[in-house]
Structure 1
């Protein structure tokens, strides 16, 4: 599972509006990168690289081709799982919140708030109403992200 620094609900309430927006934009920029762009595929070296091994085992057998193939598949599956997870969480929001999140944060990076509340909503809504819808959507997303991306300490406490 991907690691993500999602604050606790108490810390979320203490954050400013710009910090909350920046945190959500980071999550959705990762989503857009996984959805649209493909990661850099690793490739194996064709020729062996000879190294002088003064101290250490020289009898190790490795399979760099398999390691690279496993890495590439794992990374692809991780991106697909992340995109599916984010889309599922957004699908659980109210219709007006879904529209806002999909149009503003999930489609493209260059879309502005003004473009969404003036041209996407039919009829257009005010900036204040847009801000209220965004605030509700962000709060619901943070609640969902708390379960999906648990804090680092929680897993270690459950294991011990």
Structure 2
């Protein structure tokens, strides 16, 4: 009895596509407008205010500043990883991803097919391959659970 071995994992295409699209959207927004920082609603008193018996102090300004720094660094790193991954795709795949997901938020598949002189079928096939490669490079793939 021969068993066919596959070295590439079988992925949940729908969930993987959702994750890749979400990551590409984050990168596009960061490249267009930069990082949007959180701000606190009001400046708190500088005197510590103890809550109950925990003896913990509240520091909303500190928490907000820490969140801003951490999130900006995380999104910057994510955007750099996306750019690196997209640059490793084939020329057709790179053009599809850039035009559809990284340049404009209102891009439409059928318009991009025409711009790239591709049939709808070729476009969909190349886009699916690009998503698969991006998912693996960015470690966003969702492995399909094998039912026993």
**Structure 1 unaligned blocks of 5 or more:** 1-7, 152-160
Maintained 8 Å contact 2:38/2:68: yes
Distance 2:41 2:72 in 1: 17
Structure 2 contact 27–78 (Cα < 8 Å) conserved: yes
Task: Tell me the equivalent position of 1:156.
Answer: none
Gapped runs of 5+ residues in structure 2? 1-7, 143-148
Structure 2 equivalent of residue 142 of structure 1: 135
Query: In the alignment, which residue of structure 2 is the partner of 1:45?
Result: 42
In structure 1, C-alpha distance between the alignment counterparts of 2:49 and 2:62, rounded to whole Å: 21
Shift of 1:83: 0.7
Whether the 8 Å contact between 1:91 and 1:98 is mirrored in structure 2 is: yes
Question: Which structure 2 residues correspond to residues 10-159 of structure 1 after superposition, within 5 A?
Answer: 10-12=10-12, 15=13, 21-37=17-33, 38-43=35-40, 45-48=42-45, 53=51, 55-58=52-55, 60=56, 63-119=59-115, 121=116, 124-146=117-139, 149=140
* 3-state SS, counterpart of residue 11 of structure 1: coil
Higher share in helix: 1
Name the CA distance, whole Å, in 2 between partners of 1:78 and 1:9. 27
Equivalenced residue count is: 133
Superposed CA RMSD in Å reads 3.1
1:93 aligns to what SS in structure 2?
coil
Deviation at 1:62, TM superposition (A): 5.9
Q: Aligned in 2, Cα 1:66/1:140: closer, same or farther, shift over 3 Å?
A: same
Secondary structure of 1:74 counterpart: helix
**CA apart distance, 1:118:** 0.4
Question: What are the superposed Cα offsets for residues 49-99 of structure 1, whole Å, 9 maximum, x if unpaired?
Answer: 99785x3145x5565444332221111111111111111111111111111
**CA 140–75 in structure 1, closer or farther in 2 if over 3 Å, else same:** same
Following the alignment from structure 1 to structure 2, what is the Cα–Cα distance between the partners of residues 141 and 150? 9
TM-score scaled by length of structure 1: 0.66
- Structure 1 residues 101-155: Cα deviation after superposition (integer angstroms, max 9, x where no partner): 0011111221011111102x2xx12111111211221121122133xx588xxxx
CA 1:20/1:43 → structure 2, altered by over 3 Å: closer, same or farther? closer
